[in-house]
Amino acid sequence: MSRPLIILPVVFLLGLQAATPTGPDSPTPRSEPLLLDRSYPIEVGISFPAALLHWLDSLAGLNGPGMTAGKTVEAHREEYGDRFGRLTTEAAARLKRYAEIRWKVAERAGPEQRNSLTLAFFEANDLDQALLRSRELLVDDEPEGIGEALDYFAPSYEQIWNDAAIPERFVRRAGKDANRKELSEFLVRMAEFFEVPADREPHPRVVLVPVPRGHGTHAQAIEHNLLIEVRDWEGLTDEISPIVHENAHLLFSRIGSTRRAEMERLAASLNTRGSQAWQLLHEALPTALGQGVAGEKFLGDRWSASGRWYHTEPIDLYAKDLFPLVRKSLGKGGRFDDAFLNKAVSIYLKNDRLAAESTPRSP
């Protein structure tokens, strides 16, 4: 696995002293209510260890297999600078060591287990439990390196986390959202489209983390954990597109491996560019569902067919080309079957702008 260079701008590395490195109290374990209802049971995860890990990944610019940073890296860095000043030399060294360990763990684990360290934090009740679970994945002085980074940065992040004020507010608003029942029905229909049981266990679990105002949203499916960034003013409808998008990833991944292999072979047999279409479909189809069909259905005047749906052009183009097919298929009870795949590949082949594009990482 190739890994991106960890580039921390000089202006970000040097400056005022960061917060005093005293460890945070362990968060009180929280029950995980359902975001919607039992017809499509999405559990709600509000986790300080998960949010802290994502924040450190963002500060370090860890965007790649097994990592959680995305297009909001600069948002988190700017917030750090505004609140705590520029990173000191000591802070930069600890963050760099943290990043090196994250990459080494992902490389050792291989493609099937590359999210193992992330999951150790996402599924822990507190930092002590996260560290305990992560120890079996770490070697030599890596536990100390991770621990030192957490000791240093956790007190600062506690101020941003503010006892989960933003995620908790989001959940309260979601419980009163007028679109809650209809969104659940939409997701049940989407599960039927993928031919996956809507109540399959483990249930999808949205992991809510705060992000500053004025920036986009990073969302990412990590097995059944669906990382969703939320802002202080947002409710359920504001995040419907990312929620649908990441659930589409989860449902896509739950199609049986044998069936997925059959579909991949079919796509490859249709045209010399069929394999390329299949790979791009992994991200373009969730985008067509979340930012396309769900966006049009739930967002009203805030939705735009011409605005950017995805941050890379090939997926944005393909998702918009797929949108009429996906909308029609959902509306008429269609399935993600061979007939749909034939049409999806044909749509891809008709767009000359996609011909030479490579497939980016699926978040």
> At which residue do the structure tokens 């860095």 appear?
77
pLDDT confidence of residue 216: 85
Q: Tell whether the model's pLDDT for residue 214 goes beyond 70.
A: yes
Furthest CA-CA distance within the chain: 60
Count the helix, strand and coil residues of the chain and give each as a percent rounded to the nearest 5. Answer: 60, 5, 35
Q: Band the pLDDT of 1: cuts 50, 70, 90.
A: very low
Contact yes or no for 61/8 (Cβ under 8 A) = yes
Q: Tell whether the model's pLDDT for residue 3 goes beyond 90.
A: no
Given its phi and psi angles, is residue 280 left (phi above 0), alpha (psi -120 to 50 degrees) or beta?
alpha
For 170-199, the pLDDT digits (tens) are 999 999 999 999 999 999 999 999 999 999
Backbone phi and psi for residue 207, each to the nearest 5 degrees, phi listed first: -105, 105
Q: What is the pTM of this model?
A: 0.89
Read off the pLDDT of each residue in 241-246 and give the average, rounded to a whole number.
98
pLDDT confidence of residue 110: 87
Contact yes or no for 329/338 (Cβ under 8 A) = no
Neighbouring CB atoms inside 10 A of 172's CB total: 10
pLDDT confidence of residue 218: 95
Q: Whole-angstrom Cα distance, residue 312 to residue 319?
A: 11
For 251-310, the pLDDT digits (tens) are 999 999 999 999 999 999 999 999 999 999 999 999 999 999 999 999 999 999 999 999
> Computed over its alpha carbons, how large is the radius of gyration of the chain?
21
pLDDT confidence of residue 82: 97
- By C-alpha distance, which of 266, 251, 258, 209 is closest to 232? 209
pLDDT confidence of residue 206: 98
> What crossing angle do the helices spanning 313-331 and 338-350 adopt, rounded to 10°?
140
Q: Whole-angstrom Cα distance, residue 178 to residue 317?
A: 31
For 23-49, the pLDDT digits (tens) are 444 444 445 689 999 999 999 999 999
Q: Whole-angstrom Cα distance, residue 121 to residue 236?
A: 25
From 60-69, 241-250, 271-280, 347-356, the region with the lowest mean pLDDT: 347-356
Read off the pLDDT of each residue in 329-338 and give the average, rounded to a whole number.
98
- Residue 68's SS3 state is coil
CA distances (Å), 171 to each of 21, 53, 206, 248, in order? Answer: 31, 21, 11, 21
Supply the mean pLDDT for the chain.
90
- By C-alpha distance, which of 238, 286, 267 is closest to 344? 267
Read off the pLDDT of each residue in 322-332 and give the average, rounded to a whole number.
98
Q: Band the pLDDT of 5: cuts 50, 70, 90.
A: very low
pLDDT confidence of residue 30: 45
pLDDT confidence of residue 33: 86
pLDDT confidence of residue 356: 60
- By C-alpha distance, which of 190, 340, 163 is closest to 267? 340
In the beta sheet, which residues pair with residue 221?
Answer: 226
> Beta strands 205-210 and 219-222: pairing type?
unpaired
Contact yes or no for 153/94 (Cβ under 8 A) = yes
Q: Which residues of 57-94 are buried (b: 16+ CB within 10 A; e: fewer)?
A: bbbbbbbbbbbbbbebbebbbebbeeebebbbeebbeb
For 198-212, the pLDDT digits (tens) are 999 999 999 999 999
Q: Band the pLDDT of 359: cuts 50, 70, 90.
A: very low
